[in-house]
Structure 1
Amino acid sequence: MAPSDPRRVYALIEAEKGGLFRSDDGGENWELATANRAIRQRAWYYTTLTVNPSNPEDVWFPQVPMLRTIDGGKTIKYIKGFHHGDHHDLWIDPKNPKRMISSNDGGVDISVNGGETWFAPPLPISQFYHLSVDNSVPYRIGGSMQDWGTAQGPSMNPRGGIALADWWGVGGGEAGYVVSDWSNPDIVYAGEYLGIITRHDRRTGESRNVSAWPDNPSGWGGEAMKYRYQWTAPIHVSPHDPKVVYHGAQVIFRTMDGGQSWDVISPDLTRNDKSRQKWAGGPITGDNTGVETWGTVFTIAESPKEKGLVWAGSDDGLVHVTRDGGKNWTNVTGGLSGAPREGTISLIEASPFDAATAYVVIDNHRLDDRHPYIYKTSDYGSSWKALHSTLPDDVYLHVVREDPAKRGQLYLGTERGVMYSTDDGAAWKPLQLDLPTVAVHDLAIKGDDLVVGTHGRSVWILDDLQPVREMSEQIRSRDVHLLGVPDATRWRRGDGNWASSYGKFSNPPQGASIYYFLKQKPKSEVKIEILDAGSRVVRTLSSVPRESDKSDDEDDAEALKKAALPAKEGVNRAEWDLTWEGATKIKGAKIDTGDPARGPRAVPGTYTVRLSVDGKTQTTPLKIMADPRGAVSQADLDAQITFALRVRDDISKLSGLVNSITSVREQLTARAKALEPRKAEPAIAELLKASAAVIKKIDGFEDRMHNPKAEVTYDILAERGGSRLYSRLSPLQMWAIDGDGTPTRGMQQVLEEQEQELATLERESRAFLSKEVAALNAMVEKLRLEFVIR
């Protein structure tokens, strides 16, 4: 119904002689406005319209493209400018019809000028069917997204945040699996509905069709197909031979040459119910894309512990296993007590610890059964044990993975999020944290990361599984416990790509994640110290916020507050960025380049983490790994850290000098103020005059050490003489640590020159203070005053 004219009613009718019907009298009489097929194709998938709230003649039709009529249906035109097709809804602001939002398979498009132009915000709302991780460094995540196609991108970007430009297509299509060759991650196998599979070579960007049966059964019913492929037909690369790849139809195909040729290695592993293989349609409009195909192999898994031991699960409830590479198959469904007969075997996880062990997840929600079903076998499927008794009764499951670092630790992807078990499925707990409530269709474990593929909120990574693996009731009974710290990689960050800064997502924390359990909120400071192999304290972290001074801008001051360690009841997480303690800053001093508080990065090696809280101290080792992409030797890194610490210590020494002379000045100033009422006395006047002369000389010394007159950073550029020693040592420290390697000869020569200047300042200032302060103190003692300069 048109909001601006209730008598105008439109009806989009699905029928052989259907189309857009229109009534101008509130539905009493109707006429066919148009039978245009474009507005009623794939009727079950679209069939919607939106009437402009201020113009009854203006009607929009979300379809494969966006369509529109401005004359009540007489003519239909295509609307361009969208970033994606397959539109499913259109909202028009009733108060301002120029504001519009289209929802489509690619996200949303927004217009503020009545549809003349459109803008698509980069929203993380992709619908992933499956995902995988490869062996790149950093590892990459690949998967297929509803209507977007395949994508692969980095788990982190050493150049900065992860940008949209860091992701690329890898062949295949919108449905199916994306799996990399584990021996060569540049080779990627990607699927698409109707049995399409491609082999992508990232080095050349080429994607080559290597389908086992490259026919096009689009529009066919299952009974007409030689091979029935599931919408997300499984692809599995053998963990024993990267050239061996499995692909599922109603049978299992295997290639041993990377897809050049395929062999059928199984009989039909489904129920092969012919009544479920008919053409989909009638009386409703037919629609046969492959998603309607039933009686297919839905999941394949070869045991990483036993070559040729392959599991297969079908979408009509069967589980089969072969132990001889497909020569003989055994139906092991019978032991799945209580399982729905025709439930989808959503995923089979072959245990990384034991060849006889596997886990099976069954999804039966398409048959109106939302109960969870998960089973385990420890005898190759001869018997099965149900693991779902402690799961919520109304949440169905998609995927289970066993942690390769801890036997019996399971992660479960459900329709509402992630759950986990530390006791092989006996009890389940939510692992939601900040993950939205969303369907989780796949999970992958890479090192200490849990990668989560959602159907509606893109990909998420839980960066560190250490506390999930280690926490136990025994630990929870203790007052304090420092968990083990996983190895930390010393990534080097390069310059980012300016063009790719739009739409960036954050990297995982760079450095070491340190977890500690506190049974209750502590009474005193929580302190973490990092010690090197020689027991030197590299860095100290504290729950007490560090104070900022007027040299810090607002962002720096806020960062200092956030840097304080958490000290809450339960598990706490601290981040050490792998840097040493920085230099002592000159309070209030401005510099135009560098950051003295930023310490150099610790070199690869073994360190100790020491936790101190409420009189209890615990330690655990930490290993820093070298950047695997780098070619810098340990000797170069050792030379770099030695040089950088030397510069750091020089800055701290300079700061100490400034503090010592300014302390004398502050005392002299305070004494002069106190003696102001007695300045008419000759002896006091002489003392004040001598003090003023000393203050002037102190000002001169300070002016050589830094730029005390600078109120803002770039006052340094306007000041005669330019940057002083503080503003020259600071950038030298920055340049020495910004890139790995032995400091250049130029750096070493400049430091030697600056250290000579520092030594001169130290010698002259200390000699001056020693002489002048002693003289002033003698005058004070002669006058029997209490104001002795320290």
Structure 2
Amino acid sequence: MIRPFFLRPLLVGGAALLLSAASQAQAPDPSLYQGMVWRNIGPFRGGRVAAVTGVIGQPGTFYMGMPLGGVWKTTSAGVTWYPIMDSVKEASSVGSIEVAPSDPNVIYVGMGDLITGGGINEGNGVYKSTDAGKTWIHLGLDETKQIPSILVDPHDPNLVMIAAQGNMHVKSDTRGLYRSTDGGKTWTKTLYIDDETGIQKIAWAPDNPKVMLATTVRHYSDPTAARAPRGAPGGGRQTGPSGTALYKSTDEGLTWKEVKGGGLPALSGRTSVAVAMGTNSQRMFIVGNFGLYRSDDGGQKWKQMDSEDRRVANGQGGYNCGVYVNPKDPDTVYVVNTCSYISHDGGKTFTGFKGAPGGDDPQQFWFDPTDGKRIFLGSDQGATISLDGGLNWSSWYNQPTGQVYHISTDNQYPFWVYATQQDSGCIATSSRGNLGAVTALDWSPHPGYEFGYIVADPLNPKISYAGGPGGGIVKVTNPSGQWINVSPNLDSKANLRKVGNQPLMFSPTNPHELFAGFQCLMSTTDGGMHWKALSPDLGFPKGYVPPKPEAKPTTPPAAKSGGNVDNDMDDIDEDEEPTEQFGPNGGGSIESFSPSSIDGRIIWVGTSNGLIKLTKDHGKTWEDVTIPKLENPTRADISCIDASHTDPGTAYVAIDYHSLADYKPYFYRTHDFGKTWTKIVAGLPDDQPSGSFARVIRADTKKANLLFAGTESSMYVSFNDGDTWQSLMLNLPNTSYRDIAINGNDLVVGTYGRSFWVLDDITPLRQIEASMKSEPAHLFAPGDAIRVRRNVNGDTPFPPEIPHAVNPPVGALIYYYLGSKPNGIVTLDVTDANGKPVRHMSSAEIPPSDDPLPPVPDFWIEKPEPMPTEVGTNRIHWDLRYDNPPSQSHSYEINANPGETPASPEGPLVLPGVYTLTLTVDGKQYVQKVTVKNDPRSPASMSHLRAQHDLQMKLYEGAKQSFDLYNQVAEMRKAVTNILDSEPSADLATATEDFESKLTAIGGTSGGGRRFGGFQRPGGPAPAPTFAGVSGSFVRELGTLDSGDMAPNQPVVSACETIADELKDTMARWQAFLAKDLPAFNAVLAKSNTKPIPAPKTVMAHRG
């Protein structure tokens, strides 16, 4: 709905005053939110792998390095992977990794990914572990920035060499080959070309490390130069020669000599080299865009191999490149292109080895020098291991290392997250799984391309739109999964241009309208059947007149084959606008845009060449509100622009200058529709080793002045409209934070290297005030809680090694702040609208259970913990259940989750409604309300839920009452046992045993009895009910009713009535026993001068 614009001036003025006042507010202390926890939700589909290695003699142990995801380890030959370098906070981009062959505990990691294009993925030198990855030591060489290759001497773990490419955007003498003989304490540069040329690949045969090869390449992208065509040698904006050369050392890297001639062609671009084992280092290979060449005499003469097979050459413009020789057979050679290929005749002919249509894009191989069948491959799809020479491979669908560009969420519950993933295409995953975890059942590939955006239809999440192959826009319809290109650029006459990450977004005020960014803003309201241009070409600065004026694009005709966008985008950098300064058509393209959620006529647009345009009338007219006095404005990528959700005149901008060697963050805000802009970077670091430049900024959807920002290395929050920023990393790893989405009360981030993360229920961030720091305690008001069950599985759970991400805590997340360590027990009580108790939680120590050990491994079992009482903000959750009913014994349901399987029975779920939370700290109470809402997917009406709940509460009370009565009998039985243990006379023993049998007939025994711990035996009359048996029956039916939302059917009601009658009958027998049998037995005891057995203090009446 479009809201009346005549109300805006008053709103703008008032909001601007509020924003101005808030921006001067003191920033709150981080301890007020340090108890919050980010949750990784996968999906478990691997991302591009930059480095691989294995451990000789340990068949299951391998390590992989990720471009911006750190180091991961497997000890199960790829069944499971886990990160081992998250303790390193400074950088996460790995370029190379090597385990010392003579000491499996020594690992060297070269930081900085070997990339092509305009990204950086920089590191900070070399790290070393001497305990197989448990801890890390920084060895310096910080300014080398990108280290794509490492070698460690096969016999000496302290002799290590690294290839340093150096800073892509800065001339530097830190490039070259470095050698250390003391384990990295000191380094000597033994090969250096110039301040623009780095070392790309170093190789030797492990059986003769004295002989080495090294290749060089120009690794400098002049920030002032025009952008090179895609696939230029070495990537990025190159000028001058490529600097590619081949060098050889015969003294293990001490001295070097260039290798040229002898049949070797002119070298250029990215290269790879290999030296074959078992040949005394005589057989050598080099591959590049010039083809594959082999030498059989140590590099004096060279011969081109299989010159007709272009798969053998570097066919992806430097995106990947590699040649490898099997350590057990010098005639078995491997090369990489879109797939990998194998030769069994020394490189003369090749056939496919591993890959699939579309290309796995293999990046790195590692071969065990002692076992040629043990192979480790890192590709764009993830890491995969073969132990049989390539016949079978481990899965890469178990690695949450996806590199995503842009994310969005839909409007269903639980919400799904959508993203484009580097090389793997599009992905979609649920934020919560029905089986107690986010499993493989909860995510799926999504039609579309690896770049750009995916957005779900706000009115129908089964329909979504994504950037498609060839620069199109595809419409996807589920559950069929059918997709079709509906892009306006199908018509070549539309003359549209776009950035690689083309933005798509639905209007927040008109859910029928989808926008797409080209050089103009396009709009469709009928699902892509027709498109309309809402703007002229917005890619020109104010006052600029292009040489050939371009008319405002018109609505393209119906879709047909064709178009004007290059289909091959595998080798472009995601951050690069694939045009010159103003593009081939004379201008930039829309990099980002943001329609206002307050007024649908307001749309902010940012372009790839630093322009910001604004319309207040849905595209009828446009203003140029570009930030004035920007340095190099035409090279400023407006990577994100975000409209405020509380003030129509306010917007926030993130600008990326990293292609100009400027890695500092640039964030701006305006409160006056772009008339003035304020830079907002206070508190943000600008010198992080992996880069500090801005990626994304988002305004909270509910709280004014609350902002979130992602940079190349970190996540941040501002509580005062950007005046100051604070870290929001919490438990996040160092990686690139590419996009942010807010769905209700949940904050979602997409990363380039660690997939998706969710910060569940950010309502505390919306409530935090600096003054809270001085309070003795504070209870935050929770966000609305959804009434869902932990796990609805009814059969065998997934084994723990099957990839899964944890679900959000079930129910209400409750945060409370403690200003100091409390003197006593902290409690939290939940009461209903009538003040009746529902749940009690406490910081008191939980006594160990006296239950027998469960017949399952301990890792399945949830271990109850007391409320935390740390100084600062603490987190607990209420699962929306009543206190657990007492029970003679506990079981563990088949719908288990590792570490999260609670003991049964559990208390009933509460009804939807408002509940009161009371936190008690040192005698003072703090009170908040929480609203419980029913699962939107529930088939039950409120009346059905109430009927079910009423019956559950009767069962719940019955279970408690029968348990208490059982305990009365048990206490009396203890007294009887004491008499029998005292060696009574024969007459007294007989009377006591008779009395005990009567007690047992009423109380029953724990863990067995009718309807408790077993089945009733067939044949004969049913035995009289007992309290233990009745208690078990109540618990059983309570569990039966708890599995789903449904009004109780008649059989269940009848079964519950039968159990209630049995309780009534057993209570009557108990009361008769107390009135007759107990006095009679006490009279017998009196004659024997034995202390009488007292009657229970209270005998409960049946509660119905």
Relative to the length of structure 2, the TM-score reads: 0.65
Q: 1:366 to 1:457 in 2, by over 3 A?
A: same
Q: Indicate if the aligned counterparts of 1:654 and 1:705 stay in contact, CA closer than 8 A.
A: no
Mapping of residues 183-262 of structure 1, within 5 Å = 183-192=459-468, 194-202=470-478, 204-214=480-490, 226-262=495-531
Query: 3-state DSSP class of the match of 1:416?
Result: coil
Q: 1:770 to 1:549 in 2, by over 3 A?
A: farther
Q: CA separation in 1, counterparts of 2:910 and 2:387?
A: 52
Q: Indicate if the aligned counterparts of 1:546 and 1:560 stay in contact, CA closer than 8 A.
A: no
1:293 maps to 578
Residue 649 of structure 2 is aligned to residue 364 of structure 1: no
Q: CA separation in 1, counterparts of 2:903 and 2:634?
A: 66
1:513 maps to 813
1:320 maps to 613
Range that drifts further, 584-593 or 98-107: 584-593
Match of 2:329 among 49, 55, 60: 55
Query: 3-state DSSP class of the match of 1:301?
Result: strand
Query: 3-state DSSP class of the match of 1:623?
Result: strand
Match of 1:91 among 363, 366, 389: 366
Residue 841 of structure 2 is aligned to residue 541 of structure 1: yes
Q: CA separation in 2, counterparts of 1:590 and 1:200?
A: 42
Report how far residue 788 of structure 1 moved. 4.8
Query: 3-state DSSP class of the match of 1:335?
Result: coil
Residue 326 of structure 2 is aligned to residue 26 of structure 1: no
Q: CA separation in 2, counterparts of 1:703 and 1:289?
A: 73
Give the aligned residue type for 1:39.
V
1:2 maps to 276
Report how far residue 660 of structure 1 moved. 1.4
Residue 311 of structure 2 is aligned to residue 38 of structure 1: yes
Residue 701 of structure 2 is aligned to residue 404 of structure 1: yes
2:431 maps to 155
Report how far residue 707 of structure 1 moved. 1.7
Q: Indicate if the aligned counterparts of 1:142 and 1:151 stay in contact, CA closer than 8 A.
A: yes
Report how far residue 462 of structure 1 moved. 1.1
Q: CA separation in 1, counterparts of 2:305 and 2:1017?
A: 74
1:642 maps to 950
Q: CA separation in 1, counterparts of 2:489 and 2:295?
A: 51
Query: 3-state DSSP class of the match of 1:99?
Result: strand
Give the aligned residue type for 2:321.
T
Report how far residue 303 of structure 1 moved. 1.9
Query: 3-state DSSP class of the match of 1:562?
Result: coil
Per residue, is there more helix in 1 or in 2?
1
1:277 maps to none
1:101 maps to 376
Q: CA separation in 1, counterparts of 2:1005 and 2:915?
A: 39
Range that drifts further, 514-523 or 207-216: 207-216
Match of 2:1040 among 732, 735, 758: 735
Q: CA separation in 2, counterparts of 1:11 and 1:270?
A: 50
Q: Indicate if the aligned counterparts of 2:700 and 2:708 stay in contact, CA closer than 8 A.
A: yes
Range that drifts further, 778-787 or 102-111: 778-787
Report how far residue 603 of structure 1 moved. 0.7
Report how far residue 335 of structure 1 moved. 2.6
Query: 3-state DSSP class of the match of 1:39?
Result: coil
Q: Indicate if the aligned counterparts of 2:636 and 2:656 stay in contact, CA closer than 8 A.
A: yes
1:613 maps to 921
Match of 1:604 among 902, 908, 912: 912
1:220 maps to none
Q: 1:716 to 1:474 in 2, by over 3 A?
A: farther
Match of 1:756 among 1049, 1061, 1069: 1061
2:401 maps to 125
Q: 1:706 to 1:392 in 2, by over 3 A?
A: closer
Give the aligned residue type for 1:578.
L
Query: 3-state DSSP class of the match of 1:671?
Result: helix
Range that drifts further, 160-169 or 117-126: 160-169
Residue 847 of structure 2 is aligned to residue 530 of structure 1: no
Q: Indicate if the aligned counterparts of 1:551 and 1:590 stay in contact, CA closer than 8 A.
A: no
Match of 2:414 among 121, 138, 150: 138
Q: CA separation in 1, counterparts of 2:492 and 2:803?
A: 37
Q: 1:77 to 1:495 in 2, by over 3 A?
A: same
Query: 3-state DSSP class of the match of 2:373?
Result: coil
Q: CA separation in 2, counterparts of 1:602 and 1:705?
A: 29
Q: CA separation in 2, counterparts of 1:289 and 1:553?
A: 54
Q: CA separation in 2, counterparts of 1:303 and 1:406?
A: 15
Match of 1:460 among 729, 754, 757: 757
Mapping of residues 327-476 of structure 1, within 5 Å = 327-335=620-628, 342-394=635-687, 395-476=692-773
Query: 3-state DSSP class of the match of 1:173?
Result: coil
Give the aligned residue type for 2:969.
I
Query: 3-state DSSP class of the match of 1:64?
Result: coil
Query: 3-state DSSP class of the match of 1:699?
Result: helix
Q: Indicate if the aligned counterparts of 1:336 and 1:384 stay in contact, CA closer than 8 A.
A: no
Report how far residue 419 of structure 1 moved. 0.9
Q: Indicate if the aligned counterparts of 1:81 and 1:118 stay in contact, CA closer than 8 A.
A: no
Q: 1:699 to 1:339 in 2, by over 3 A?
A: farther
Give the aligned residue type for 1:212.
P
Query: 3-state DSSP class of the match of 2:647?
Result: coil
Give the aligned residue type for 2:293.
F
Relative to the length of structure 1, the TM-score reads: 0.89
Q: CA separation in 1, counterparts of 2:467 and 2:348?
A: 42
Q: CA separation in 2, counterparts of 1:668 and 1:546?
A: 28
2:877 maps to 575
Q: 1:704 to 1:54 in 2, by over 3 A?
A: closer
Query: 3-state DSSP class of the match of 1:228?
Result: coil
1:71 maps to 345
Residue 450 of structure 2 is aligned to residue 174 of structure 1: yes
Q: Indicate if the aligned counterparts of 2:287 and 2:322 stay in contact, CA closer than 8 A.
A: no
Range that drifts further, 247-256 or 146-155: 247-256
Q: Indicate if the aligned counterparts of 1:372 and 1:397 stay in contact, CA closer than 8 A.
A: yes
1:146-176: CA deviation from partner (whole Å, max 9, x where unpaired): 1222222322233543333433444331111
1:444-490: CA deviation from partner (whole Å, max 9, x where unpaired): 00111001111121111111102222233222211111110211111
Match of 2:997 among 687, 692, 696: 696
Q: Indicate if the aligned counterparts of 1:159 and 1:496 stay in contact, CA closer than 8 A.
A: no
Q: CA separation in 2, counterparts of 1:368 and 1:617?
A: 55
Report how far residue 369 of structure 1 moved. 1.3
Q: 1:331 to 1:506 in 2, by over 3 A?
A: same
Report how far residue 770 of structure 1 moved. 4.3
Query: 3-state DSSP class of the match of 1:324?
Result: coil
Q: Indicate if the aligned counterparts of 1:270 and 1:296 stay in contact, CA closer than 8 A.
A: no
Q: Indicate if the aligned counterparts of 1:91 and 1:102 stay in contact, CA closer than 8 A.
A: yes
Q: 1:752 to 1:181 in 2, by over 3 A?
A: closer
Report how far residue 494 of structure 1 moved. 4.3
Query: 3-state DSSP class of the match of 2:975?
Result: helix
Q: Indicate if the aligned counterparts of 1:192 and 1:232 stay in contact, CA closer than 8 A.
A: no
CA RMSD of aligned residues (A): 3.5
Greater RCO (Cα-Cα under 8 Å, separation 6 or more): 2
Give the aligned residue type for 1:412.
A
Q: Indicate if the aligned counterparts of 1:591 and 1:727 stay in contact, CA closer than 8 A.
A: no
| Gap regions ≥5 residues in structure 2 | 1-274, 548-564, 580-587, 896-901, 1096-1104
Give the aligned residue type for 1:37.
R
Q: 1:554 to 1:623 in 2, by over 3 A?
A: farther
Query: 3-state DSSP class of the match of 1:701?
Result: helix
Q: CA separation in 2, counterparts of 1:251 and 1:498?
A: 54
Aligned residues with identical type, % of pairs: 31
Q: 1:336 to 1:259 in 2, by over 3 A?
A: farther
| Gap regions ≥5 residues in structure 1 | 218-224, 275-279
